[in-house]
A and B are shown apart, each in its own frame.
Chain A
Amino acid sequence: MFAIERIKIIKNYLLKEHKVSVAKLSELLNVTEVTIRRDLEKLEKEGFLERTHGGAILKECKEEEPVEEYADIYKTQRQEIAETVFHLVSDNDMIMITEGLTNVYIAKKLARKNNLTVLTNDMRVAMEFVGSPVNNLILLGGDLKEYAVYGQLTENNMQYFSVNHLFVEVDAISKQSGIMVSSISKASLIQKAIRSAETVSVVCLADYFGEKSLYRVGSVDIADKIITNSALDDSYKDYLFSLNIQVYTSVDIYEE
C-alpha cells in the first residue's frame, strides 16, 4: 500500500516541477535515498521519467499536446468539469456547445459518447469530434473571430436547430449583475441559443464567480444547471440553491 502513495506523490511532484533530486524527495517523503532510487527506477521502466545524476526529469509526453501560448493554470479544473458534463449527457442527445476553453475539454470527453448530435460555433470543439464518426457534428457558419464564428449569419444559421441541452461557457457570474461574457456578439449568440434549448447548463470556473465582465447575458436564473469546480464560494451555493439551480462542483478526489 505504502509504495503506491509514495509513487503517486513523486508523479504529482514531477508533473508540476518537471525535475527533482533524490535528496529532495527523500526529505519530502521521509524515506531513505535508496528507497527513492528504487521508486525512480520503477517509474523509469514505466516510461514516466528519465533518471539523471542525483535525480530525475519528466519525460516529454508522447501525445502531442496542442501548443498553448501560455500555460493554462486551470487545466485540472477544466478536466474535472468535463468529467461532470460527461455524466450529464446521454447517448443520442442533441446538444449545443458554445465557444470556450473549458468547453473544448468537454468536447474531448463527449467525443467518447455514441450517436450524439453536436451543434457548435467553436472550431476547436468541432476538431475534437473529427476522429469520432459515431457522433454527428454540425458546425455553424459566420464571421470567424479567433476560434469561433459569430454575428448575424451565425444567429440566422442557428434558428434551424432545437437542442435538448445547451452548454454555454461564460466569463463571470455575480449576484448583482448575473451572467456575463467578454464580447457583445457572444452575449447575443448565447441569448438566442437559450431560446431553442430545453435545458441550459452554464459552465464557469469557480474563480470567476463574483468577478465582472462587460457584457451581460442575463440574470443567473436563465441557467437550469451551473457547472463549476470545487473551489466555489459557499455563499454562491446558498444563493444558487435558493434560485432552484442545480449546482455541480465537480469534486474529484475519491480513488477507485
Chain B
Amino acid sequence: MNTPILKLENVNLKIDNFALTNINLDLFQGEIHVIMGENRSGKSLLMQIVSGALSPGSGRFFLDGREQKYGEYSSNIKNDITYVRQDSEMLTNLTIAENLFFNNLPYKSRILKTIDYDRLNYMCRELLNELNLPISINDRVSSLGLAQRQICEFLRAYVSNAKIVILDEPFAALTQKEREVLCRVVKGIRQRGAGIFYITHNLDDVFELGDRITVIKNGRIVDTRKVADCTREEIIKLMSGQYIKNRYPKIGVKAGKVILSVKDLCFEDKLQNINFDLRKGEVLGVTGLAGSGRTLLAKCLFGALDNVKGKIFINGSEVKISDPYTAISNGIALIPEDRITCSIFSYLTVSDNISVSSLKRFAHALRINFPILMHSVMEYVKKLNITQDPGESILEYSSGNQQKAIFAKWMMSRAKIFILDEPTRGLDIASKIDIYNFINDLVKKDAGVIFISSDIEEILGICDRVAVLSSRTLACNVSTKDITAERIIELAATEDV
C-alpha cells in the first residue's frame, strides 16, 4: 500500500481515571476505517486527538508520511478534517441547501454578498440526484427529524471536500431504511477519495461499509484487521460482550384499568386512524422507522401540535388536549427525543430543572418554600442516582445524568401517563439500567408508560405490548410475548402506498 494520509504512533493520554495507552492508528486515502468498542472505551477521546482538538501526553504524528509536532499537526489538520458528532451542529433557522453549502456559498456579487440562490439550489439538487436522496432542499433544518438531520450532516461532510472524515456513532438511533440512505452517502464520501474513521456499535455496518476495523477496549487497541479477513464471530470475540436479549430488568405488574384511550387520532397526512388503549401498570412500546411518526404521535398526545383530530380519553372521560399545559394538568408527561433543545432549561441548575414542573407542591402564601423544595430535590437526586451536585448548571452534566434529572422532574410532578421518546438514546449502560428501573418504579405504582424506541431488543426486553407505526398508522398492537424481532422489522419496513 502507499503511505497513509494520517498516522499516529505510541499515543498516550491520561485524563482523571481514564487513560489511552499505546495507540497506533493509521488511515489511507479512500478507506473506511471502522472503530469499534464499548461505551467509554475511549473512541471519542481518540477521535478528538485525531481531529487536533485535544493534545495528548505523548506520541508521534505523521501527515502524508511527514512527522509533525502535535501543535503543527493540529493546525494543519484542521483544514482537512470534518468531524460529524451525534448531536446536530447545524444552523436550524436556515434551509437544508444553505446549511450544506454554508462554507462555500455561490455569490451573485462577491462585494455585495448577495447569494445566487438559483445556483445554490441547482448545486444542491445535483448533489441529491447524484446520491439519489429524497429530501426537499428548501425545508428549514428545524423542521427535520433527527434522522434527516443526520443525513444532512453527512451530506455536509460529503460537500466539504475534507480529506479526512470522522463519523461518530452515526447510526445510533436510526432505522434500517435510513441506514441504507446513510450508507450510500458514506460510500459516496469514500468514492470521492477521502479517508473515513467510522465509529459504530453495529456489526452489520462493519461488513457493509468497513475496509479495516480497529477494536478498542479500555483505552487500548485490541487489534486492527482487514474486514475481509474477519468473521462476525471473530469481531464479537474481540469486542466481547455483544448485545443480547433477556438482560433487561423487567417486572411483571398486573395491568389495571385503561388510563389513556386514543380513538381515531389523525394529524395532517402523517398519522391516520391511530387507536390504542394504555392501562395502568403497563409499558406500551411504540416503534417504527424514523419518519413513521413516532415523535409526531408523542407530540400529538402532549398537545404540542395544532390540528390534531380524534378523541383522547383519560380514565374514561374525554379530554381536549389543546396545548402542553392541558396535557400536564391531566397528568401527561413527555420526555422528548432531543434532550438538549426540547427537554432541559440549559441555563438553570439541576435542582431548578427537577422542581420546575412541581412548584405548586412547594408554594406557600404566594412564595416558594425553598428548604422543603431542596429537601425533596435531594431525595430524588439520591434515589435516582444522579451523581453530581444539584446546584450546578445542568449543561455541565453527562447525558445520563441529564436524562435522569428529566425523569426526576416528571416523577416529582406525579404525572400518571409517561410518554418516553427514545429515553435511552446515546446513554451509557449504567444510566440505561437506571432508567429501566425507574420505569419499573412507575408501573409498580400504577402509572402507564408509552416507550418509543427504535431499538427493537430494548422494546422486547422491557415492554408488555408493542405497537408498530407503519404507513401512517399502527400496523399491530400485540403482547411482546407473541411477536419476534424479525416480525417487527418486517411490519415496520412494509409501506402500503
Binding site for B on A (CB under 8 A): 1-2, 4-6, 9, 28-31, 83-84, 87-88, 90, 225, 230-232, 234-235, 237-238, 241-256
- The closest CB in chain B to the CB of A226 belongs to B249
Do the beta carbons of A87 and B441 come within 8 Å of each other? no
B445 lies within 8 A of chain A by Cβ: yes
Complex CA–CA separation, A243 to B372 (angstroms): 42
Instruction: Determine the chain A residues whose CB is within 8 A of the CB of B248 once the complex forms.
Output: 246
Contact flags (1/0) for B362-389 with A, using CB distance below 8 Å? 1110000111100110011001110000
Asked whether B87 is an interface residue with its Cβ less than 8 Å from the other chain, the reply is no
Contact indicator A230/B252 (Cβ below 8 Å): no
- Find out whether the CB atom of B372 lies under 8 angstroms from the CB atom of A9: yes
Please classify how large the interface on chain B is, using the bins under 10, 10 to 19, 20 to 34, 35 or more.
35 or more
Are B371 and A28 in contact (CB-based, < 8 A)?
yes
23 sample A-B contacts, Cβ–Cβ < 8 Å, listed by A number = A1-B360, A2-B363, A2-B364, A2-B372, A9-B375, A28-B371, A29-B371, A30-B371, A31-B364, A87-B444, A230-B384, A231-B385, A234-B430, A238-B430, A248-B249, A249-B434, A251-B384, A251-B437, A252-B383, A254-B411, A254-B442, A255-B414, A256-B445
Cβ contact of B440, chosen from A29, A225, A251, cutoff 8 A: A251
Interface centre among A5, A9, A243 (most CB of B within 10 A): A5
Provided the pairs A2-B361, A237-B429 are in contact, do residues A88 and B251 lie with their beta carbons within 8 angstroms?
Answer: yes
Please measure, in the bound complex, the distance between the C-alpha atom of A230 and the C-alpha atom of B408, giving whole angstroms: 14
Tell me if B362 and A241 are in contact (CB < 8 A): no
CA distance A29 to B380 in the complex (A): 18
Bound CA span A240–B365, Å: 49
Q: Which of B415-442 contact A (CB under 8 A)?
A: 428-430, 432-434, 437-438, 440-442
Complex Cα gap A90–B254 (Å): 10
Counting CB contacts under 8 A, is B253 at the interface?
yes
Tell me whether B244 is interfacial, beta carbon within 8 Å. Answer: yes
- Give Cα A243–Cα B411 distance, bound, in whole angstroms: 30
Alpha-carbon separation in the docked complex, A31 to B369 (Å)? 9
B337 interface hit (Cβ, 8 Å): no
Which among A5, A242, A255, A256 is the interface contact of B362 at CB below 8 angstroms?
A: A5
- Give the A-binding residues of B (Cβ under 8 A): 38, 240-241, 244, 246-253, 360-364, 369-372, 375-376, 379-380, 383-385, 411, 414, 428-430, 432-434, 437-438, 440-442, 444-447
Distance A111 CA – B364 CA, assembled complex (angstroms): 43
Distance between Cα atoms of A242 and B41 in the complex (Å): 14
Check if B249 sits within 8 Å of A253, measured CB to CB: no
Q: Verify B247–A241 contact, CB threshold 8 A.
A: yes
The residues of A that contact B445 with a CB separation of less than 8 Å are 254-256
Q: Which residues of A contact B447 (CB under 8 A)?
A: 254
* Closest chain B residue to A85, Cβ basis: B251
> Which residue from chain A places its CB closest to the CB of B248 in the assembled complex?
A246
Q: Is the Cβ of B441 less than 8 Å from the Cβ of A30?
A: no
Do A88 and B252 touch (CB < 8 A)? yes
Q: A90-B252, A230-B383 are in contact. Are A247 and B433 (CB under 8 A)?
A: yes
Cα(A237)–Cα(B247), bound, Å: 11
CA distance in complex: A241, B247 (Å): 7
B429 in contact with A244 (CB, 8 Å): no
Q: Knowing A2-B364, A230-B383, A252-B441 touch, does A237 contact B430 (C-beta < 8 A)?
A: yes
- Greatest chain B CB density within 10 A among A225, A235, A251, A256 is at A251
Set of chain A residues within 8 Å of B379, measured between Cβ atoms: 253
Q: Which residue of A has the minimal Cβ distance to B371? A: A30
User: A225 and B380: CB pair below 8 A?
Assistant: no
Q: Which residues of A contact B433 (CB under 8 A)?
A: 237, 241, 247, 249
A195 to B338, CA, bound (A): 47
Task: Note all chain B residues with C-beta closer than 8 A to A231.
Answer: 385
Q: A6-B372, A248-B251, A251-B440 are in contact. Are A237 and B434 (CB under 8 A)?
A: yes
Q: A183 to B314, alpha carbons, bound, how many Å? A: 55
Q: How far is the CB of B71 from chain A (nearest CB, A)?
A: 36
| C-alpha gap A232/B379 in the complex (Å) | 16
Q: Which of A28, A235, A248 has the most CB of B within 10 A?
A: A248
A246 near B437 with CB under 8 A, answer: no
The contact of A84 among B251, B370, B430, by CB within 8 Å, is: B251
Q: What's the nearest-Cβ distance from chain B to residue A25, in Å?
A: 11
Structural contact, B364 and A241, CB atoms closer than 8 A: no
C-alpha gap A5/B377 in the complex (Å): 12
Interface contacts beyond A4-B361, A235-B430: sample of 7 additional A-B pairs, CB < 8 Å, sorted by A: A1-B361, A29-B371, A87-B252, A234-B385, A248-B437, A251-B438, A254-B438
Min C-beta distance of A52 to chain B, whole Å? 24
Most buried by A among B248, B251, B380, B447: B251
What is the bound-complex CA distance between A169 and B430, given in angstroms? 23
C-alpha spacing A142/B372, complex, angstroms: 53
Residue pair B375, A241 in contact (C-beta under 8 Å): no
| Contact present for A244 and B246 (CB under 8 Å) | yes
> Top 9 nearest A-B pairs by Cβ distance?
A234-B430, A87-B251, A242-B241, A237-B430, A253-B383, A244-B247, A251-B441, A249-B437, A237-B433
